A = this chain, B = another copy of it.
Amino acid sequence: MGKLVIVGTVAFDAIETPFGKTDKILGGAGTFIGLAASNFNIDSSVVSVVGGDFPQEYLDLMSKRHIDVSGIEIVKEGKTFFWSGKYHNDMNSRDTLITELNVLADFEPKVPETYKDSEVVMLGNLHPLTQMSVLNQMTTKPKLVILDTMNFWMDCALEDLHNTIKHIDVITINDEEARQLTGEYSLVVAARKIHDMGPKYVVIKKGEHGALLFHDDNVFYAPALPLEEVFDPTGAGDTFAGGFAGYLAKTGDYSFENMKTAVIYGSTLASFCVEKFGTERMQNLTDKEIYKRLDQFKSLTQFDIELT
């Protein structure tokens, strides 16, 4: 069983969907990744920064899930990163209403000493230089480095992004971002071009249409579970990444075959995440619930063909 170090935002989110709206609630990529990975009973640490306004109970909530929070710096005189967004009726698109960087503007991640030899590093969506800084702090070369990013960094820090993704093993990226990064419409061609940029494994997230895992000429496809209702998509991509990273850290097997299973775990956890606002559904998820849903994924995708 390997250790997992995660860098990502720990934040306040205010979310509006066709089903309702929230005040400031717990959010952030690092939070969603950490909560998802905590289902695998591994040693994990979230590296982040919050302001003096960040409630101790949120940190306790993470500690209770056995997430190490000693790498979450508290800037007493600062305010926590705040994001607010509103989803459209189809739940596939959203408008950002507010982005207040606050303490995130000067964030310099500090990996706790005991996590500098982590086998798995999960670089949540942040400035590529911030992601690189975490990699540089590792004293032992990690077995697996996973990076998530978004179009924002392609627009304003493309060169830094290119430099960082040279050093990673797996990238998780959504379909539109893969197209933007490569200028290719075909996801097969886009994945190959991203592969050439560094990552041996490319995971393309397609939201309600599932996710694709590419490695050399191999492709694996994990559907999203068809749901009656997507209540709040916030954090689904991060939860996917956290499940993926957590499962790989737990098993210590970084083969393509095992990554398939990791993708299924990621999709499974993401299917819970969207059922309630923010992190609510992820705070008390049980193994029994997860196993039941993994079983649904099996019947959703498995078939028998006799090739004669």
CB <8 Å contact, A303 and B260: yes
What 9 A-B pairs are tightest by C-beta distance, nearest first?
A209-B209, A221-B223, A260-B303, A188-B228, A188-B226, A301-B301, A291-B307, A221-B300, A219-B226
Contact between A304 and B209 (Cβ–Cβ < 8 Å)? no
Does any Cβ of B come within 8 Å of A227's Cβ?
yes
**Complex alpha-carbon distance, A210 and B291, angstroms:** 25
Once the chains bind, are B221 and A301 in contact (CB under 8 Å)?
Answer: yes
Q: Which of B187, B223, B230, B295 contacts A307 (CB 8 A)?
A: B295
Assuming A221-B223, A221-B300, A302-B302, what are 18 further A-B pairs, CB within 8 angstroms? A90-B185, A91-B185, A188-B226, A188-B228, A210-B223, A218-B299, A219-B300, A220-B300, A220-B301, A257-B304, A260-B303, A260-B304, A261-B303, A261-B305, A264-B303, A264-B305, A294-B307, A295-B307
Report how far A264 CA is from B302 CA in the complex, Å: 10
CA distance A260 to B300 in the complex (A): 9
Chain A interface SS verdict (over half): mixed
Residues of B within 8 A of A299 (CB): 218-220
Is A212 an interface position by the 8 A CB rule? Answer: yes
Shortest distance from the beta carbon of A8 to any chain B beta carbon, whole Å: 27
12 contacts between A and B (CB under 8 A): A89-B185, A91-B185, A189-B228, A206-B209, A212-B226, A219-B226, A221-B223, A223-B223, A260-B303, A294-B305, A294-B307, A298-B305
Measured between beta carbons, the chain B residues less than 8 angstroms from A210 are 209, 221, 223
Neighbouring B residues of A303 by C-beta, 8 Å:
220, 222, 260-261, 263-264, 301
A229 on the B face (CB < 8 A): yes
* A186 at the B interface (CB under 8 A): yes
CB-defined contacts of A294 to chain B, threshold 8 Å: 305, 307
Q: Once the chains bind, are B302 and A186 in contact (CB under 8 Å)?
A: no
Given A295-B307, A307-B291, A307-B295, A229 and B302 contact (CB-CB distance below 8 Å)? no
Q: A186 touching B223 by the CB < 8 A rule?
A: no
